[in-house]
C-alpha cells in the first residue's frame, strides 16, 4: 500500500496526518540531495510532466520544473492566457488535447477555484494543484510545514499567526487545513474586510489587531495583498494598511523571541512587511521556504507517479 494512496494532489483538506507526514518525510530526503553537486535521480525516467499554468508564476513553476528535471523526468512548460477565452471550455479543451499526448503528471495553476479539480476528472494522468483561485495551494502549505518542522522540530502544539489578505489567499486556506491536521493552532490576523466569512467554521481564532494576534506565537506568516483579486475597496490606503498590519519589529516584539517570519512570496516590501524585517535572516525563513519548495515538489511527483501503475484508465 502506498504511503500516499491518492491519484491526485488537489488540496490539503481531507488528507490524514500520516499522509502529510509521508509527504514531509519523503521531502526531507530530497533537501540533502538538492544541496549536493550531483542533484539528479532517475525516479521519473521515462515520465512526462507538463506544467500547465493559466496564471502567471515565477517560483512555483520554476520549482516544479526543477523538481521534475532533478528526478529525471521530461518536463514541458505551458503558459496559457485565459483573458479572451471562455474559461470553463478552455480548461476542458486543453485537458483533452494534452491528455491525448499521454503525460504522466499535469501540474496545473488556474485563476478559478475548482478549475483544477474539474480538469483532473477528465484526464488519465495524475494532477497536482499548483494553485486554484483563492481555494488551495497544497505544495505551498507542505513546503511551509517542512520549513517549520525542520526549524522547530514539530508542528503539533505550535501557535501560528497567518496575517494579511486571508480572504483571497489559497496559501492561507491550505495552511489552515494542514496546520489543523497536524495539531497546530491557527490565528488569523487581518482587517474585517480581509477575513473570509467561513473563518469560524475553519476552527481558527480571529484577531483584528496585530499586537494582540501575534502575542506569544511561534510563527508569523505574512501574506501578500492580492490586489489583482480585489474588486472594490477593501482598504482605505496602502499606507494605513502598512501602519496597522504591516510586519515591523514593533509588532514582531509581541511574538515569542525565537518566532520565525514566513512569507510565500512574491513579497510587497513596505506593504505587508517591512524590508528590514524580511531581510533579517536570524528570524526570516523566506529563502528556506523556496528551498523546501523544490524538495516538496520532488516528493509529490515521486509519490503520485509511483501510484500510476495501478491507476485505472478512463475515457474522456
Ligand atoms: N505565490 C502564492 C500564490 O500563488 C502567494 C501569492 O501569490 O501571494 O498564491
pLDDT in tens, 200-219: 889 999 999 999 999 999 99
Expressed in angstroms and rounded, the spacing between residue 266 Cα and the centre of ligand 1 is 7
Cell digits of residue 24: 514531509
Measured between alpha carbons, how far is 231 from 286 in angstroms, rounded to an integer? 29
pLDDT of residue 33: 95
pLDDT of residue 316: 44
| Beta carbon of 160 within 6 Å of any ligand 1 atom | no
Cell digits of residue 212: 494582540
pLDDT of residue 181: 98
**Torsional sign, CA 14, 215, 211, 275:** negative
pLDDT in tens, 58-78: 999 999 999 999 999 999 998
Expressed in angstroms and rounded, the spacing between residue 45 Cα and the centre of ligand 1 is 30
pLDDT of residue 22: 97
pLDDT of residue 206: 97
- Locate the ligand 1 atom nearest the alpha carbon of residue 165 and give its number: 8
pLDDT of residue 69: 98
CB-CB contact of 124 with 313 (8 Å):
yes
pLDDT of residue 87: 58
β-pair partners for 189: 163, 207
Measured between alpha carbons, how far is 316 from 254 in angstroms, rounded to an integer? 55
From residue 104, alpha-carbon distances to 46, 48, 93 in Å are 9, 5, 18
Measured between alpha carbons, how far is 125 from 54 in angstroms, rounded to an integer? 18
CB-CB contact of 220 with 214 (8 Å):
yes
Measured between alpha carbons, how far is 187 from 155 in angstroms, rounded to an integer? 15
Expressed in angstroms and rounded, the spacing between residue 258 Cα and the centre of ligand 1 is 26
pTM metric for this prediction: 0.95
pLDDT of residue 231: 72
pLDDT of residue 141: 98
- Locate the ligand 1 atom nearest the alpha carbon of residue 171 and give its number: 9
Expressed in angstroms and rounded, the spacing between residue 116 Cα and the centre of ligand 1 is 16
The Cα angle at residue 45 between residues 69 and 21, in degrees rounded to 5: 70
pLDDT of residue 139: 98
| Beta carbon of 137 within 6 Å of any ligand 1 atom | yes
pLDDT of residue 310: 47
Which portions of the chain are predicted below pLDDT 70?
81-89, 232, 309-316
pLDDT of residue 217: 98
Amino acid at each position: 500500500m502506498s504511503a500516499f494512496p491518492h491519484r491526485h494532489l488537489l488540496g490539503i483538506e481531507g488528507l490524514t496526518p500520516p499522509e502529510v507526514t509521508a509527504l514531509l518525510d519523503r521531502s526531507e530526503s530530497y533537501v540533502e540531495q538538492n544541496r549536493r553537486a550531483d542533484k539528479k535521480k532517475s525516479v521519473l525516467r521515462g515520465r512526462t510532466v507538463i506544467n500547465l499554468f493559466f496564471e502567471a508564476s515565477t517560483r512555483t513553476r520554476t520549482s516544479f520544473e526543477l523538481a521534475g528535471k532533478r528526478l529525471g523526468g521530461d518536463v514541458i512548460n505551458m503558459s496559457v492566457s485565459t483573458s479572451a477565452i471562455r474559461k470553463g471550455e478552455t480548461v476542458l479543451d486543453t485537458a483533452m488535447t494534452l491528455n491525448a499526448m499521454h503525460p504522466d503528471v499535469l501540474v496545473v495553476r488556474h485563476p478559478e477555484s475548482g478549475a483544477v479539480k474539474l480538469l483532473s476528472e477528465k484526464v488519465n494522468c495524475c494532477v497536482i494543484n499548483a494553485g486554484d483561485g483563492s481555494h488551495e495551494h497544497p505544495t505551498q502549505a507542505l513546503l511551509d510545514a517542512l520549513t517549520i518542522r525542520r526549524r522547530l522540530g514539530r508542528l503539533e502544539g505550535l501557535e501560528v499567526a497567518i496575517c494579511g489578505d486571508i480572504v483571497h489567499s489559497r496559501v492561507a486556506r491550505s495552511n489552515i487545513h494542514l496546520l489543523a491536521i497536524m495539531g497546530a493552532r491557527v490565528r488569523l490576523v487581518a482587517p474585517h474586510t480581509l477575513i473570509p466569512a467561513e473563518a469560524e467554521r475553519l476552527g481558527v481564532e480571529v484577531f483584528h489587531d496585530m499586537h494582540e494576534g501575534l502575542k506569544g506565537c511561534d510563527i508569523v506568516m505574512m501574506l501578500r495583498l492580492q490586489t489583482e483579486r480585489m474588486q472594490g475597496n477593501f482598504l482605505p490606503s496602502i499606507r494605513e494598511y502598512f501602519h496597522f498590519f504591516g510586519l515591523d519589529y514593533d509588532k514582531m516584539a509581541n511574538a515569542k523571541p525565537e518566532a520565525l517570519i514566513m512569507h510565500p512570496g512574491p513579497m510587497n516590501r513596505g506593504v505587508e512587511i517591512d524590508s528590514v524585517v524580511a531581510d533579517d535572516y536570524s528570524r526570516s525563513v523566506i529563502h528556506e521556504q523556496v528551498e523546501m519548495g523544490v524538495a516538496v515538489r520532488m516528493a509529490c511527483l515521486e509519490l503520485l507517479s509511483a501510484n500510476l501503475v495501478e491507476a485505472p484508465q478512463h475515457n474522456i
